A = this chain, B = another copy of it.
Amino acid sequence: MDIKEYIDKNRERWFEELFSLLRMPSVSAKPEHKDDMYRCAKRLTELLVEAGADRADVYETAGHPVVFGEKTVDPSARTVLVYGHYDVQPPEPLDKWLTDPFEPVIHDDAIWCRGANDDKGQLFMHLKAFEYLMRTGQLRHNVKFLFEGEEEIGSGSLPAWVREHKEMLASDVILVSDTTMISDKVPSINCGMRGLAYLEVTVTGPNKDLHSGHYGGSIANPVNTLCDMISSLIDDDGRITVPGFYDDVVELSEADRAQLARAPFSQSEFNEFLGIDEVKGEKGYTTMERIGIRPCLDVCGIWGGYTGPGTKTVLPSTAHAKISMRLVPNQDGATITRLFEEHFRAIAPKSVHVDVKAYESGNGFLIPITSEAFQAASRAMADVYGVEPVPSRGGGSIAILAEMQRILGIDPLLMGFGLERDTIHSPNESYLLSQFFAGVRSLALFYGYYPAKAQAMM
């Protein structure tokens, strides 16, 4: 049975299975969802075994559990290690959702739900491509599945777990669907991602909230001070002012930049999609370069004082911000975290106290586009989309992949089928059905093109 026919016969069951995962609010950032994380991990082991895995188990960690399953068809064959994550971003702001964030609905040819794409929807494609190959007797590779529950909060527990289970995880390629492609007309394969350093800063002025009339003007307001400090972190050229920040950044050659510039991009469509009049970023780089090959610093959240309706004339005691820095290959996440922390403390005026908390950090990485795995992925996607995929550099981070690449000595391969329209991490996350099915087909074809055994040396 060819895959299109198989999809037609099974799609309703597949949706039911996927929806059972989507309905679980597996928000890793919130302690109150700890039980949901376990339920979701457990459900994945059931789905893995139903799809044909020899076994699938929930592994406890210091944080949220890891799911691991495997199917051995031939000990001498190559092994594909599928990585995905079942945790999702918090759904807030809730008032912006048009539907319940944890009740999937199919509408406008897409699935709408938190996690519909990132990453429950994308990891589910792997389960179904595997199921198809198993049921039709076509699977030639050994397959291992590793699904973690902490990707959205920095994969804190996974490196230790991977080191501990290094032998069990031995394989030839780490296959991942957790990224986007340029568009459904212009398929692309990610050949590099950015690293991440994420911190939370707190500025404390007076030791209690004060009446803004009785004190205003006479002491440092921690919100104003935090604004001053954040403002000073990026200069007029859009460069980050943390000393040493750019020391390890590798400047791309003009040739490399020209190669990257071949990917189709419309600045006006980009602006229109975002509803902005003008872009802003580091001087001397294009929008695609600013996303793909340059580091950046963004405030992901800020709060302090009275934020309810109406007015409250308060001079707050504290102000807080969550700050993320995206890093490029060769920048070390831990080093950047340390440099930021030192700098932020150094620029604090004596009129306030500053606290810095480092949440997570990870490195960027590059993937060799000449490998057999990359070439197999490229052929598979060319078959499905009718055009050769473009190698691209995504701006996001999957910090754990750089770690796994280092610990296991295996390169990742990023076959991502998300689109920017899916607005992952935002309200109304969705995943196009056409991309979901194209993903299942591309993955099934990948196993066809990727040699099951090492080629004999010529």
Contacts and interface: CB of A to CB of B under 8 A. Distances in A.
Which 10 A-B pairs rank lowest in CB-CB distance, beginning with the nearest?
A217-B296, A213-B396, A207-B275, A29-B310, A301-B305, A223-B299, A231-B231, A209-B426, A220-B280, A301-B306
B90 A312 contact: yes
Contacts of A211: 396, 424-426
Nearest to A207: B275
Interface stretch (A65-73, A100-108, A157-165, A318-326): A318-326
A319 to B, nearest CB: 7
Given A90-B308, A224-B230, A322-B305, A218 B290 contact: yes
Interface string A286-321: 010011001111111111111111111111100111
A281 interface: yes
A198 interface: yes
Interface in A420-451: 420, 423-427
A205 interface: yes
A276 B220 contact: yes
Given A227-B227, A280-B349, A299-B305, A311 B212 contact: no
Nearest to A231: B231
Given A214-B180, A396-B211, A301 B304 contact: yes
A207 B270 CA distance: 12
A187 interface: no
Nearest to A195: B213
Given A212-B324, A307-B322, 7 more contacts: A198-B311, A218-B290, A219-B281, A224-B231, A299-B305, A301-B305, A302-B302
Contacts of A232: 231
Contact of A300 (B30, B194, B227, B305): B305
B29 A276 contact: no
A359 interface: yes
Given A29-B310, A278-B350, A312-B90, A291 B215 contact: yes
A300 B306 contact: yes
A41 to B, nearest CB: 19
A214 B198 CA distance: 15
Nearest to A299: B223
26 contacts: A29-B312, A92-B308, A96-B209, A153-B311, A206-B276, A208-B426, A208-B427, A209-B427, A210-B423, A210-B426, A211-B396, A212-B300, A214-B420, A217-B281, A217-B294, A217-B395, A219-B281, A223-B300, A276-B351, A277-B350, A277-B351, A300-B306, A301-B307, A301-B316, A302-B319, A313-B397
Interface string A256-291: 000000000000000000111111111000010011
A152 B395 CA distance: 47
Interface string A146-184: 000000111000000000000000000000000010000
Task: Tell me which of A224, A303, A310, A311 has the highest count of chain B C-beta atoms within 10 A of its own C-beta.
Answer: A311
Copies in the complex: 2
A115 to B, nearest CB: 14
A322 B310 CA distance: 9
Contact of A224 (B234, B319, B351): B234
B224 A226 contact: no
A394 interface: yes
Nearest to A422: B211
A319 B298 CA distance: 13
A89 interface: yes
A279 B322 contact: no
A275 B426 contact: no
Given A213-B394, A217-B291, A281-B218, A274 B311 contact: no
A302 B300 contact: no
A36 to B, nearest CB: 15
A213 B231 contact: no
